[in-house]
Chain A
Amino acid sequence: MRFLFKTSYEQDLRLAKHGGHLFWYGLLGLALVVAPWVAPEYWLAQLTFVLIYAIVGLGLMLLAGFTGLFSLGHAAFLGVGAYTQAVLTGMGWPFALSLACAAGLSAAVGVVVGLPALRVKGIYLGMATLSFGFIVEEVFARWESVTGGNSGKHLVPPEIWGFKFESTESFYFLCLVIALVSTLAILNLLRSPTGRAFVAIRDSEISAQSMGIHLARYKTLSFSLSAALAGIGGALYAHKLQFISPDQFNILQSIDLLLMIVIGGLGSVHGAFLGAIFLISMPQLISLGKDWLPASIGQAPGLQAVVYGAVLILFVLFEPMGLYGRWLKVRTWLQLFPFYRKGLFKRQKAFQKSDRLK
């Protein structure tokens, strides 16, 4: 068990609270940097996808996990980013500028989608964002002069100052840097007044308002930041696949994204990364398992959807805090060994809460 001796308020503002954090995150960083020389190319490509999904996950985590607004149409923002990037780089714009435009356009669309969030919440907001997702997918398919319609659109590899990120390794590093910057931005946000306002809205809108938080402004802000990160993720996703079509940004993608952060652990930055690892590694595990299962099950279409659904149900029932929650328990068990109590993480019932003012 570690006891921190605190001597200044600045100590609580640091990202790395103690030497252990520095050591382990340093080790993780080192592993990520040397990965291209160690891991086979296929695994490096998968790792790149983990980073891309983690960027999108960070955005959705900010929205759903920290502001309490669920979006069932997040793939639409991914798509807006991807198509913006495809169109702009296709016109010969530099990579960085197109990426900024992809993020900016997604954010602008996010503001528009955020408007119903000012009036509706919960399941109704889910329905509003869901239908928005369908509309955007349809636009991608029909607006053929720009998006290429259902036949899709090809992308050129990203290029910065004459350097082409063509190889798996170089593109991996590009994604790593962007993922790192996004993570730092989110961590900074969460330890500053803006992030606290988001958390306040999540936990009690009525008292957030009476603390002087402008609900409409912060909800819209959360939507636009979330959409911007999804747009950046979408742009990288498009470059990675080098080909995009409307069906990559459909309802299934949206559900995958939501599944990712719920399984990763709502309300934790780690959760976005753990969820992304889960989302990318699960299909691999399923295809490995296929050979062991009887053909009638193993070769059945929709096996992946069934497994995803089952895993989600199990998590909601037994580990609502997701993979990160599970990790916290394991870590506490190790720290307290042998004094871990079973009820240590038991969620306490909230005392009578007034529903009248909601």
Chain B
Amino acid sequence: MTGTASPMTDDILLSAQNLSVRFGGVLAVNNVGFEVRRGEVFTLIGPNGAGKTTVFNLISRIYTPTTGTIHYAGPDGMLSLTDQPPHKVAGLGIARTFQNIELFEHASVLHNLLIGRHTRRETGLWADLLFTRRVRDAEVRAREKAEEIIDFLDLQHYRDTLVAGLPYGVRKVVELARALCTEPRLLLLDEPSSGLNVEETDDMAFWIQDIQHELGITVLMVEHDMSLVSKVSDRVLAMNQGEVVAMGTPREVQSHPGVIEAYLGTIDDVSNLRRPAGSAPARMAR
């Protein structure tokens, strides 16, 4: 199965095939397949309960698919992601953020970012206990990288603040910063704009574009805000009730009848609300 399923082309970073997940009697994801190309922003959209976050949790190995495979072009070539233990995923270059912000609350912003450097740690327990010269140098290097990200996302002001005291919008950025600290090849953003105001959402859009163009990181995101989606996405996958409805450019997907149906209901649901032809309001006729 794995031999035939692995993609042939070199520009594929992640390829999911025939993914299904069953929780008891609920089929949360049903036969979903897609491919994420290197360097693109790929967005999953769909109404609540469509299974978008479940797909994310499959990729970050929090869940294991009931059937199907996920292949990922790791640093050492194509590998089956479903065979990896969850803690190995970050080391392969896949970082993620969470829909409801999962930061380390009782630590400073800087501390959070340094935890993001965990996969790059160079020293073991005994060196750490003695805090040898090597640990000290490694710490300074980790700090330099963290400071780069702080500069990139304009977090200088919050560097030493405890996360527990930060406003929601800033936490969202800190979580993005922490993910970037792992130096990912694939960044999974779970609803980056949820809970943000209009300005913060605009900033987020700029940052996602910067991450794509300046840092060259492939982005896979789940998002509801269609203006953000159409601004930053190269391709969009629409899901509904665990199944793929449409895939293509943002414009194609937005005008796809299946997507409109998923969000607004069928034409029959609204047809009896329509005015008969020719009876336009008088105001308009004038």
Contact residues of A with B, CB < 8 Å? 9-10, 12-13, 185, 188-189, 191-197, 199-200, 202-204, 206-215, 221, 267, 347-348, 350-354, 357
Knowing A193-B118, A215-B87, A354-B99 touch, does A210 contact B106 (C-beta < 8 A)?
no
| B119 beta carbon closer than 8 Å to chain A | yes
Knowing A9-B144, A191-B131, A196-B111 touch, does A212 contact B91 (C-beta < 8 A)?
yes
Knowing A188-B130, A189-B129, A192-B128 touch, does A212 contact B119 (C-beta < 8 A)?
yes
Contacts of B235 in A (CB 8 A): none
Q: What distance in Å separates the Cβ of B211 from its nearest Cβ neighbour in chain A?
A: 18
Q: List 16 A-B contacts (CB under 8 A).
A: A9-B144, A13-B139, A188-B129, A189-B129, A192-B131, A200-B104, A202-B104, A204-B105, A207-B102, A212-B118, A212-B182, A267-B106, A348-B164, A353-B100, A354-B98, A354-B99
Q: What distance in Å separates the Cβ of A264 from its nearest Cβ neighbour in chain B?
A: 17
Interface of A is mostly: helix
Q: Which of A13, A207, A267 contacts B104 (CB 8 A)?
A: A207
In contact, A211 and B128 (Cβ under 8 angstroms): no
In contact, A203 and B103 (Cβ under 8 angstroms): yes
Supply 6 further A-B pairs (C-beta < 8 A) apart from A192-B128, A203-B105, A206-B98: A185-B130, A188-B131, A193-B114, A193-B117, A199-B104, A204-B104
In contact, B131 and A196 (Cβ under 8 angstroms): no
How many angstroms from the CA of A121 to the CA of B171 in the assembled complex? 27
In contact, B102 and A13 (Cβ under 8 angstroms): no
Knowing A199-B111, A211-B118 touch, does A204 contact B102 (C-beta < 8 A)?
yes
How many angstroms from the CA of A192 to the CA of B144 in the assembled complex? 15
| B143 beta carbon closer than 8 Å to chain A | yes
In contact, B140 and A193 (Cβ under 8 angstroms): no
In contact, A209 and B87 (Cβ under 8 angstroms): yes
How many angstroms from the CA of A203 to the CA of B111 in the assembled complex? 12
Contacts of B90 in A (CB 8 A): 210-212
Contacts of A267 in B (CB 8 A): 106
Contacts of A221 in B (CB 8 A): 125
How many angstroms from the CA of A210 to the CA of B125 in the assembled complex? 21
Contacts of B114 in A (CB 8 A): 193, 196
Q: What distance in Å separates the Cβ of B44 from its nearest Cβ neighbour in chain A?
A: 18
Smallest Cβ-Cβ distance to A68: which chain B residue: B106
In contact, A210 and B136 (Cβ under 8 angstroms): no
Q: What distance in Å separates the Cβ of A73 from its nearest Cβ neighbour in chain B?
A: 24
Q: Which of A193, A209, A357 contacts B123 (CB 8 A)?
A: A193
| B60 beta carbon closer than 8 Å to chain A | yes
In contact, A213 and B107 (Cβ under 8 angstroms): no
Residues in B107-159 with C-beta less than 8 Å from chain A = 107, 111, 114-119, 121, 123, 125, 127-131, 135-136, 138-140, 142-144, 147
Q: What distance in Å separates the Cβ of B75 from its nearest Cβ neighbour in chain A?
A: 14
How many angstroms from the CA of A351 to the CA of B196 in the assembled complex? 13
Q: Which of B62, B119, B143 contacts A9 (CB 8 A)?
A: B143
Smallest Cβ-Cβ distance to B99: which chain A residue: A354
In contact, B115 and A200 (Cβ under 8 angstroms): yes
